[in-house]
Chain A
Amino acid sequence: MKITIKILFLFFSVAICFAQVEVKQIDKKNSTAIYVSNISVLEKSINHIDSTENPDLKWIEYIMNDISSKCINDLSGTNWIHKKFEIIDSIGFEKEISLNLWNIGDANEIYWDRQLIGKRGNLNTNNIKPSEPIYQLVKIPFNYLTIGQHELHIKFHNVSTDKNVTYSSIEIGDDRYFIKRQIKTNYVTIIFTVILFGVASFFMLMFFGFKARLSFLLLAVFCLMNALKSYLSPLWVIQSSGVALSTYNDYLCEIFYTIGNHALLAFFIVKFDIRKISYPLAAAIFLSPILIVPFDARISQVVFFILCYMMIFYGLYIKKSGSLFALSAMTLFAAWSLIRYFTFIWQGYFIGVIFFSIVLLFEAVRDIASQIKLKREANLRSTRLENELLKKNIQPHFILNTLTALQEVVEQNPKHAIKLIQALADEFRLFSKVSGEKLIPISEELEICSAHLKIMEYRKDAKFTLTKENITGNELLPPGILHTIIENGITHGFKSKTNGKFLVSKEIKNDCVIYKVSNDGINNKKEFNKRTGIKYIETRLEESFSGKWELVSHPSIDGWIVEIKICDKSRTIK
């Protein structure tokens, strides 16, 4: 089973890697890619970045190293990219040539042959906000694509060098190629969105269908938030009349992301019971994203990971079940999220979320399966006990002996026979009433005992009395216990024609209740533990008061006492 899981994961990761590779076929080193054969970058073309902060149009040309994306993102403030192209052959009508920019500045202006053909944001304000990278598809008007040399100047502004995504690229080529490629990327994004929605629904299903566990709800929220974030991510930009329209909504994404993180922190708090350590601590952890994000989103994310890990390690320390699962899930999440800083798999974050959720989903399902199994076993045990109780009542020894005695009474003393039959019926009726319960009020148990004693009076030709001391009647006990003890008491303590007194009393010591059943019969040396029915009593006590009970018996001054001690306050009173 474990090997299958590992193989599945391996397959998963490899598959996603391939999908990524297929989508982006960009040469990282040369950040200028060309997708039309008639255009070539001039050999001696001037590729450089002008690092002066002069916002004016400055056509300073000098030779520099190749532009690399790293250079672009290392510069804060306003800078220029200059490139020269030569068109060596006429470009047919059917081709629509565009520039495809990725992650060039938080705001930019694009000039072809010194004409503004596209822009992002507004470079002229003082208040440029840092933005997520987007694709800009900027169409180059057909009449600008004459044979000869052309210039491309891009003015861009980086608010800071501290970007999440450091990769940039400039491509020139056929519209359709870029669009198709973007669609493919969107497919992947849509797949992620669908998977995350699916996982979220699964968690919701489990929440409503199986057990309304808060952790399911929180994980569902986490997946849902990330699904929404993923849905908003397709970075499809249409350039039209100089305004970039994007389906990328920074603000909403940020909100979803933060809510998702809150949900995940809450999930760990609930899972590892952090509230038990201290409420303020739990509250602080839960609120941390919303407190830190306004200051620095990056730090918020780091803090988020650290807090998650701290809680997981705490869980491992207290040996909480499922901690190992949480650890592996979190590590997968972190690993995939970090990958986007080192490679072009910028969707690593979402892949991480998916892996994370699936591992936790697996753990949740396994947990539920084992809970169902335990419940079934408990039910089975309960049914078996119920069965035993009923069997006890109709077991040969008791009923057949009683019926044989009844045969005699019917012939000798019909009036008594009626009474004996009534007592027998009472006992049966009471037994079937209580046999399905785990706990019954002691008053009902004592009724059964009285009926039983009445029957035994006839059979043994003796008088039995049952008195109670300090019993209110509401005390809860498993059914059949006192009955078994009294039955045993009669069998082993009284020969025929000997009268007997039974006393049931209750004593409260510290936090425990002690029920005593005493009789004034002879002490039978037969070992108490081996007597029939003792196992039944022990199983019933264990079922309702797991581990918190004690059963002892010993001789007393004038007879025999059986004591049941129960130390479970919550369940002893109705």
Chain B
Amino acid sequence: MIICIVEDEPLIANRIERIAKELLEEKITKIVIKHSLDEAKHYLFEHEIDLLLLDLNLNGDNGFELLKLAVSGSFHTIIISAYSEKAIEAYEFGVLDFLSKPFTSERLQKSFDRFGNVDGKNQFPTKYIAVRKNEKLILLKVEEIIYIKGAGIYSEIKLKNGEIEIHDKSLNRLCTILPSQFVRSHKSYIVNLEFVNNFISHGGSKYDLVLSSKEILPVSRTKYKELKNHFTR
């Protein structure tokens, strides 16, 4: 796991690094400390990371812009901030977790636990997915996503209006931050249950989903039962 810490106060940066090392031990391959997101941007452009720990002053107008930039990346983002009133808003953009300052190592552990957890859902469901497109950031409304298809290390997001956007995160990572109506129906698909009309059976426990957009997606055998429950509920 490669972690990047963005924190301008040396003492706090040290603290995060030290505690992270204590908690994750050998799981960490590398920790990089940057003092501003601008600095980090250059690094992130050249290197892959898995987790970003970002100290943001969410009280300024700049804060949320930086946050949106961060969550559009392929890595998970944990926000560390003194302004806890902004936590709910931060969650809506799909951050992995929001940490208030000051924090204990127990709390940081909880955040790290989320990292590997595909099913862990946030208290406050994500409402927007930020996507980097042509040097700009656009926000997709989660309720307009019909399904997401895995495409190598990227994901293809299919929207209600038929458009497709590409996101840097893998399906796994997207799963972690999407709300509960999104289910991993297949190793290559995440589907939004709001858009599922019914199932088609091909016999021999091979099933397909029919979406309201008339598209048909495959369903993995293991997922079928789970999906049926979700569906009938």
A407 at the interface (CB under 8 A from B): yes
Asked if A496 contacts B101 (CB within 8 A), the reply is no
How far does the Cβ of A260 sit from chain B's closest Cβ, in whole Å? 66
Interface residues of B in 1-36 (CB under 8 A from A): 8-12, 14-15, 18, 35
Please name the residue on chain A nearest to B8 by beta carbon: A496
Asked if B12 contacts A401 (CB within 8 A), the reply is yes
B231 at the interface (CB under 8 A from A): no
Asked if B83 contacts A401 (CB within 8 A), the reply is no
Binary flags per residue of B210-228, CB closer than 8 Å to A gives 1, else 0? 0000000000000000000
Asked if A397 contacts B82 (CB within 8 A), the reply is yes
Which of A8-16, A103-111, A454-462 lies at the interface with chain B?
A454-462
B181 at the interface (CB under 8 A from A): no
Asked if B10 contacts A496 (CB within 8 A), the reply is yes
A405 at the interface (CB under 8 A from B): yes
B122 at the interface (CB under 8 A from A): no
> Which residues of chain A come closer than 8 Å to B102, judged between CB atoms?
400, 403-404, 406-407
Please name the residue on chain B nearest to A406 by beta carbon: B102
Interface residues of A in 223-243 (CB under 8 A from B): none
> Which residues of chain B come closer than 8 Å to A412, judged between CB atoms?
14
Asked if A404 contacts B8 (CB within 8 A), the reply is no
Asked if A495 contacts B35 (CB within 8 A), the reply is yes
B103 at the interface (CB under 8 A from A): yes
Asked if A405 contacts B9 (CB within 8 A), the reply is yes
How far does the Cβ of B23 sit from chain A's closest Cβ, in whole Å? 15
Asked if B101 contacts A458 (CB within 8 A), the reply is no
Give the complex CA separation of A496 and B82 in angstroms. 18
Q: Which residue from B10, B15, B82 sits with its C-beta under 8 Å from A400?
A: B82
**A404/B103 contact (C-beta < 8 A), A396-B82, A396-B83 known:** yes
> Which residues of chain B come closer than 8 Å to A461, judged between CB atoms?
10-11
Give the complex CA separation of A169 and B49 in angstroms. 117
Please name the residue on chain A nearest to B85 by beta carbon: A396
Give the complex CA separation of A495 and B82 in angstroms. 19
Binary flags per residue of A392-429, CB closer than 8 Å to B gives 1, else 0? 00001100110111111100100000000000000000
> Which residues of chain A come closer than 8 Å to B15, judged between CB atoms?
404-405, 407-408
Please name the residue on chain B nearest to A462 by beta carbon: B10
How far does the Cβ of A413 sit from chain B's closest Cβ, in whole Å? 10
Interface size, chain B (Cβ < 8 Å) = 18
Q: Is the interface of A mostly helix, strand, loop or mixed?
A: helix
Give the complex CA separation of A403 and B104 in angstroms. 12
Please name the residue on chain A nearest to B84 by beta carbon: A396
A497 at the interface (CB under 8 A from B): yes
> Which residues of chain B come closer than 8 Å to A406, judged between CB atoms?
102
Give the complex CA separation of A460 and B8 in angstroms. 8
Give the complex CA separation of A406 and B100 in angstroms. 15
B59 at the interface (CB under 8 A from A): yes
Give the complex CA separation of A495 and B36 in angstroms. 10
> Which residues of chain A come closer than 8 Å to B84, judged between CB atoms?
396
**A408/B101 contact (C-beta < 8 A), A397-B82, A496-B8 known:** no
Interface residues of A in 442-470 (CB under 8 A from B): 458-461
Asked if A496 contacts B9 (CB within 8 A), the reply is yes
Q: Which residue from B10, B82, B83 sits with its C-beta under 8 Å from A497?
A: B10
> Which residues of chain A come closer than 8 Å to B82, judged between CB atoms?
396-397, 400-401
> Which residues of chain A come closer than 8 Å to B12, judged between CB atoms?
401, 404-405, 408, 459
> Which residues of chain A come closer than 8 Å to B111, judged between CB atoms?
none
Give the complex CA separation of A460 and B9 in angstroms. 6
Interface residues of B in 84-109 (CB under 8 A from A): 84, 100-103
Give the complex CA separation of A401 and B55 in angstroms. 10
Please name the residue on chain B nearest to A396 by beta carbon: B82
> Which residues of chain B come closer than 8 Å to A460, judged between CB atoms?
9-10
B57 at the interface (CB under 8 A from A): yes
Interface residues of A in 172-227 (CB under 8 A from B): none
Give the complex CA separation of A403 and B35 in angstroms. 19
**A458/B11 contact (C-beta < 8 A), A400-B101, A407-B102 known:** yes
Give the complex CA separation of A403 and B9 in angstroms. 12
How far does the Cβ of A399 sit from chain B's closest Cβ, in whole Å? 8
Asked if B35 contacts A397 (CB within 8 A), the reply is no
Asked if A403 contacts B10 (CB within 8 A), the reply is no
Give the complex CA separation of A490 and B8 in angstroms. 12
> Which residues of chain B come closer than 8 Å to A496, judged between CB atoms?
8-10, 35
**A401/B10 contact (C-beta < 8 A), A495-B35, A496-B35 known:** no
How far does the Cβ of A322 sit from chain B's closest Cβ, in whole Å? 48
How far does the Cβ of A11 sit from chain B's closest Cβ, in whole Å? 60
Asked if A401 contacts B35 (CB within 8 A), the reply is no
**A403/B101 contact (C-beta < 8 A), A396-B83, A408-B14, A495-B35 known:** yes
Q: Which residue from B8, B57, B83 sits with its C-beta under 8 Å from A495?
A: B8
Please name the residue on chain B nearest to A458 by beta carbon: B11
How far does the Cβ of B60 sit from chain A's closest Cβ, in whole Å? 8
Give the complex CA separation of A332 and B115 in angstroms. 87
Asked if B8 contacts A405 (CB within 8 A), the reply is no
> Which residues of chain A come closer than 8 Å to B18, judged between CB atoms?
408
> Which residues of chain A come closer than 8 Å to B8, judged between CB atoms?
495-496
Please name the residue on chain A nearest to B57 by beta carbon: A397
> Which residues of chain A come closer than 8 Å to B103, judged between CB atoms?
404
How far does the Cβ of B58 sit from chain A's closest Cβ, in whole Å? 10
Give the complex CA separation of A461 and B35 in angstroms. 13
Q: Which of A401, A404, A459 has the most CB of B within 10 A?
A: A404
> Which residues of chain B come closer than 8 Å to A459, judged between CB atoms?
9-12
Please name the residue on chain A nearest to B14 by beta carbon: A408
How far does the Cβ of B56 sit from chain A's closest Cβ, in whole Å? 11
Q: Which residue from A397, A408, A409 sits with its C-beta under 8 Å from B59?
A: A397
Please name the residue on chain A nearest to B104 by beta carbon: A407
**A405/B59 contact (C-beta < 8 A), A397-B82, A400-B82, A496-B35 known:** no
Give the complex CA separation of A460 and B101 in angstroms. 17
Binary flags per residue of B121-158, CB closer than 8 Å to A gives 1, else 0? 00000000000000000000000000000000000000
**A405/B83 contact (C-beta < 8 A), A400-B102, A496-B35 known:** no
Please name the residue on chain A nearest to B13 by beta carbon: A496
Give the complex CA separation of A96 and B135 in angstroms. 118
> Which residues of chain B come closer than 8 Å to A396, judged between CB atoms?
59, 82-84
Binary flags per residue of A485-506, CB closer than 8 Å to B gives 1, else 0? 0000000000111000000000
How far does the Cβ of B131 sit from chain A's closest Cβ, in whole Å? 29
Q: Which of A405, A406, A459, A460 has the most CB of B within 10 A?
A: A405
How far does the Cβ of B13 sit from chain A's closest Cβ, in whole Å? 8
**What 7 A-B pairs have minimum CB-CB distances, sorted nearest first?**
A400-B82, A404-B102, A408-B15, A396-B82, A405-B11, A404-B101, A400-B101
Q: Which B residues form the contact surface with A (CB < 8 A)?
A: 8-12, 14-15, 18, 35, 57, 59, 82-84, 100-103
A-B contact pairs, 12 of them (CB 8 A): A400-B82, A401-B82, A401-B101, A407-B102, A408-B12, A408-B14, A412-B14, A459-B9, A460-B9, A461-B11, A496-B10, A496-B35
List 4 additional contacts besides A397-B57, A397-B82, A496-B10; criterion CB under 8 Å.
A396-B82, A401-B101, A461-B11, A495-B35
